[in-house]
Structure formats: structure tokens, C-alpha cells
Amino acid sequence: MNVHIGQLKPEHAGEVMTIQRAAYLQEARRYGAWDLPPLVETLDQIRDHLADGTPALGAFSGPRLVGSVRSRVDGERMEVARLSVAPDVQGGGVGRRLLEAISEHAPDDVKVVWLFTGAESEGNIAFYESAGFVRVSEHLDAVGIRCVTLEQKVI
């Protein structure tokens, strides 16, 4: 799919919320958990995150936002968060491009990019492993879902 990757700004918060909710609905259905953090995050929380200066990128098809990803930076580690692709364009390479782009936008000090996903989300895990991420640990999240953490060294 022909998309342009660009920086997300606070004014994109509404579109980000729409895509994130649509994308994470499939994860909610998989786990029977309708209060996953990406589904209950408020517009103000998204807007604040987009204003905090950490890398946040959108995939645009013309004027339409079709994917988004945000990050949290803590010293030498950057968490990739809220990777979301609109359901009708999933499987077209947009997620891969956003994942590569957010790693490329890591601040210079960052040595490791990491993320977590549900342990039963085999498609997501395969997606991250095919992008070079490796499994490092498992934990239970706040709502009791078993999660896998994967990470990748920044070259």
C-alpha cells in the first residue's frame, strides 16, 4: 500500500483514537477483555502523549490516517506502544513500515527497542519476530492477560 510516514501531532489525537480502537478490538475479542488500555485511553491522554516529544508516527494514505504508533523513552530503552493499523488495510505492509520507522526515530541514546503483546496473539508475535525482535520474558498484565516482551538492539 502506498503510504507516507509522518510525525503525529496533538491535533491527530482524534484520528489516532479511532484507528487504535478499531485495531485493538480484535485483541479484545481474542482475550474477552474489553478494557484493554488501548481501548480505554482517553482523547486527552492521547493528546498529551502526542505532545510530549517522544517519537510518534502516522501512516497516511493521502489525507487519511491508516496507521499509528507511539513510544515511551527511558534512558537507553524505548518502548514501542499502541501500534495500530486500520482493519481494512491490515496485511498490506503498513504495520511493518511503522515499526521500522519508529525504531529509526529513536533518540541517539536508545540502545534497545522493546514492546509487549499478548502471549496468545501468535500473529503479532510472528510479525515482530519477522522484523527481528526476540522474546525476552513473560508477565501477567493488570487485567491478568499473559504477555510476551520482545526486544531488538538498535544498530
Stretch that binds ligand COA, among 43-51, 100-108, 117-125, 136-144 (CB under 6 A): 117-125
Is beta strand 77-85 parallel, antiparallel or unpaired with respect to 112-118? parallel
Which of 8, 83, 145, 150 binds ligand COA (CB under 6 A)? It is: 83
Minimum distance from CB of 127 to ligand COA (Å)? 4
Task: Tell me the β-bridge partners of 149.
Answer: 116, 137
Which of 94, 102, 110, 145 binds ligand COA (CB under 6 A)? It is: 94
Residue 93 touches ligand COA, criterion: CB under 6 A: yes
Minimum distance from CB of 147 to ligand COA (Å)? 9
Distance CA 97, CA 100 (A): 5
Instruction: Give Cα 131 distance to the centre of its chain.
Output: 14
Which of 8, 103, 117, 150 binds ligand COA (CB under 6 A)? It is: 117
Strand, coil or helix: 144: coil
Contact 94, 85 (CB under 8 A): yes
